[in-house]
């Protein structure tokens, strides 16, 4: 039997070889639509029983997930619990049963559909994700109404590869993660909760595979290549041996590199500092264990998402930042202030929903509109600064005015805390994120008000090329090698050198060997990345000569077309793997 090859987008790198297990939808296709008036009371009781059962199941799943994955991710299951407890939704369902004599199954479907239609009409990843949460809750309630037995997952293979329409955090909680080797999905973006967890636990994922349910059966042997976005169904013995050898080499290489705390220095003596990106305490520990010299980007939005009804308070934030400061000690940890983009918070949704996520109230703009929320965060950071080497970076700065106003609020918070007798780091450094073209144009002027720069390459590419990194129709435009992007990065490196300012690159391009090498050739000496990429990047950079790569960079900066740039880069770095647009955005 010939091997069947399926193509999709690789959303979590690595290779897995295992046995397919198709996730089947449990909800029955048929149920009653109408009930009689005499049945109304009993059907309402049946609904309430199903709601209680659904709540118990979610609470049980939350406990299991906390034990296997960690408490910092379990808040996402709380979103499902909040939907179950939403009185407006429950009242709508009960009204349809009482007034319209609909069956509970039908009432749940119709009441939810009104909300789902609103979610689907919004071209916004956050609200689409909330729609997915609601759909999952609906399926759970109906399954319990119809008393469908939950899948026991008895006899699951040790080398489990889940094949599903999409992955949710709740789905992951239902399966033993120690057996889960890979995921093959019909749909699902790189920002979904399930994908984020999969990447954190190095589970290879291929998404966007058309007709995946028809192409793969439970029991099929699969090879999942999350780096290239390829799935092999029924591979030959030689193909399995080839991928097994690749996995052994990868594991051997990772083991040889993990724990290497020695400095990263190029062949000709150029020092390069490597940091980890993180948003949870567990990721900080992973990064430091893999050789990170600090945390180059700590995303604070995750903290806010733990409370869906209000912005998280100063005290809760202080505990997180204090823990971060204690973990890094003398090593730097750069905390990015609030920057809700695609992952919007319900508290701000009435305002944020009025504009596009990428062009509306983000970063410092949002903070200046809500100064008390910004000052609460800053106060927590300043209090924590007494416990370690914390730095603050302000995102989405596009003018000198914004950095001045932001620093004024920070200074106000400093004065308040000093008057209260709180010990803080009075010299805490404040930097800006360079991620919009306006900041690059005004960089010399902005530099006078910033202690350091942090380049967010994902947004910089997006805004420079007017190409969303989440739109598959124009994914080909989202390319770090575009001459305009390269010239922008080169300008940042030159201005920083002239101003004697520290500049850090913390976007995903730093995680790729070719792009990291080019960044070093431009003069960047501080790179922050996915913690798991640190060992490989350290090894690669130790094998290049800065002056040679600098000459290559100077050459490609003179080239006017992307095709010419790619030709030179492919020739110069032929031994290093390339990265597709889909992988880059993950």
Annotated active-site positions, please? 193, 506
Report d(CA 239, CA 237) in Å as an integer: 5
Three-class HEC string of 137-199: HHHHHHHHHCCCCCCCCCCCCCCEEEEECCCCHHHHHCCCCCCEEEEEECCCCCCCHHHHHHH
Tokens 């009075």 belong to 426
Query: In sequence order, what are the residues at sequence separation of 6 or more whose Cβ sits closer than 8 angstroms to the Cβ of residue 67?
Result: none
- The first and second tokens of residue 148, run together, are 């469908």
Up-side HSE of residue 107: CA atoms within 13 Å toward CB?
A: 25
For the beta carbon of residue 240, count every other beta carbon within 10 angstroms: 15
On the 0-12 / 13-18 / 19+ scale of CB atoms within 10 A, 354 is: exposed
Distances (CA, A) of 333 to 339, 359, 483, 531: 17, 28, 32, 14
DSSP-based three-state secondary structure for 266: coil
Long-range contacts of 373-376 (CB under 8 A, 24+ apart): 373/311, 373/338, 374/337, 374/338, 374/406, 374/409, 375/409, 375/412, 375/413, 376/311, 376/313, 376/314, 376/317
Q: Which residues pair with 207 in a beta bridge?
A: 9
The H or E element that residue 485 is part of is helix 483-499
- CA triple 216-221-225, angle to 5 deg: 85
Up-side HSE of residue 486: CA atoms within 13 Å toward CB?
A: 26
Exposure string over 474-507, b if 16+ CB within 10 A, otherwise e: ebebbbbbbbebbebbbebbebbeebebbbbbbb
Q: Are 397 and 359 in contact (CB under 8 A)?
A: no
- CA triple 345-50-26, angle to 5 deg: 85
Report d(CA 91, CA 78) in Å as an integer: 20
Q: Are 129 and 192 in contact (CB under 8 A)?
A: yes
Q: Which residues pair with 527 in a beta bridge?
A: 274, 505
Q: Are 256 and 293 in contact (CB under 8 A)?
A: no
How is 394-442 classified by DSSP, letter by letter? E-S--SHHHHHHHHHHHHHHHHHHHHTT----TT--EEEEE-SHHHHHT
Query: In sequence order, what are the residues at sequence separation of 6 or more whose Cβ sits closer than 8 angstroms to the Cβ of residue 500?
Result: none
């Amino acid at each position: 039997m010939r091997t069947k090859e399926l193509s999709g987008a690789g959303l979590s790198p690595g290779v897995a070889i295992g046995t397919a297990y198709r996730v089947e939808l449990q909800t029955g296709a048929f149920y009653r639509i109408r009930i009689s008036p005499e049945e109304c009371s009993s059907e309402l009781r049946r609904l309430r029983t199903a709601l209680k059962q659904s709540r118990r199941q979610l609470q049980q799943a939350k406990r299991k997930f906390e034990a296997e994955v960690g408490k910092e991710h379990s808040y996402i299951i709380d979103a499902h619990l909040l939907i179950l407890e939403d009185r407006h939704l429950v009242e709508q369902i009960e009204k349809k049963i009482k007034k319209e004599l609909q069956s509970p199954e039908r009432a749940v479907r119709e009441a939810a559909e009104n909300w789902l239609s609103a979610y689907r009409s919004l071209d916004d990843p956050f609200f689409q994700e909330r729609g997915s949460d609601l759909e999952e809750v609906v399926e759970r309630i109906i399954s319990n109404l119809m008393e469908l037995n939950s899948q026991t997952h008895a006899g699951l293979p040790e080398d489990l590869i889940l094949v599903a329409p999409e992955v949710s955090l709740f789905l992951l909680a239902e399966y033993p993660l120690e057996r889960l080797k890979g995921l093959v999905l019909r749909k699902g973006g790189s920002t979904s909760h399930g994908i984020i967890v999969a990447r954190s636990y190095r589970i290879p994922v291929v998404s966007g595979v058309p007709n995946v349910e028809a192409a793969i059966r439970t029991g099929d042997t699969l090879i999942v290549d999350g780096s290239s976005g390829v799935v092999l169904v029924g591979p030959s013995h030689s193909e399995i041996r080839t991928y097994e050898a690749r996995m052994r080499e990868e594991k051997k290489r990772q083991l040889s590199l993990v724990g290497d705390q020695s400095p990263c220095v190029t062949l000709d003596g150029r020092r390069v500092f490597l940091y980890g990106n993180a948003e949870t305490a567990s990721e900080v520990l992973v990064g430091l264990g893999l050789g990170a010299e600090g945390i180059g980007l700590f995303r604070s939005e995750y903290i806010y998402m733990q409370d869906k009804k209000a912005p998280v308070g100063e005290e809760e934030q202080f505990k997180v930042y204090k823990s971060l400061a204690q973990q890094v000690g003398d090593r730097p940890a750069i905390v990015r202030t609030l920057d809700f983009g695609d992952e919007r918070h319900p508290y701000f949704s009435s305002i944020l929903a009025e504009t596009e996520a990428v062009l509306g109230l983000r970063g410092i703009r949002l903070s200046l509109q809500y100064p008390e929320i910004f000052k609460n965060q800053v106060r927590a950071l300043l209090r924590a600064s007494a416990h370690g080497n914390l730095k603050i970076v302000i995102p989405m700065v596009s003018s000198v005015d914004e950095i001045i106003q932001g620093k004024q609020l920070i200074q106000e918070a400093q004065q308040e805390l000093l008057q209260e007798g709180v010990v803080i780091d009075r010299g805490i450094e404040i930097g800006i994120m360079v991620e919009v073209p306006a900041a690059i144009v005004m960089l010399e002027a902005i530099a006078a008000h910033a202690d350091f720069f942090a380049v967010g390459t994902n947004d910089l590419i997006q805004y420079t090329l007017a190409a969303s990194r989440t739109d598959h129709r124009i994914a080909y435009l989202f390319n770090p090698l575009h001459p305009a992007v390269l010239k922008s990065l080169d300008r940042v490196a030159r201005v920083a050198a002239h101003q004697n300012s520290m500049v850090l690159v913390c976007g995903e391009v730093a995680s790729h060997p070719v792009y990291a090498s080019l960044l070093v050739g431009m003069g960047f000496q501080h790179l922050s990345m996915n913690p798991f990429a640190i060992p490989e990047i350290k090894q690669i950079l130790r094998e290049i000569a800065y002056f040679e790569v600098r000459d290559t960079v100077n050459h490609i900066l003179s080239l006017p077309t992307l095709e010419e740039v790619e030709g030179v880069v492919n020739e110069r770095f032929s031994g290093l793997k390339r990265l597709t647009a889909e992988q880059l955005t993950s």
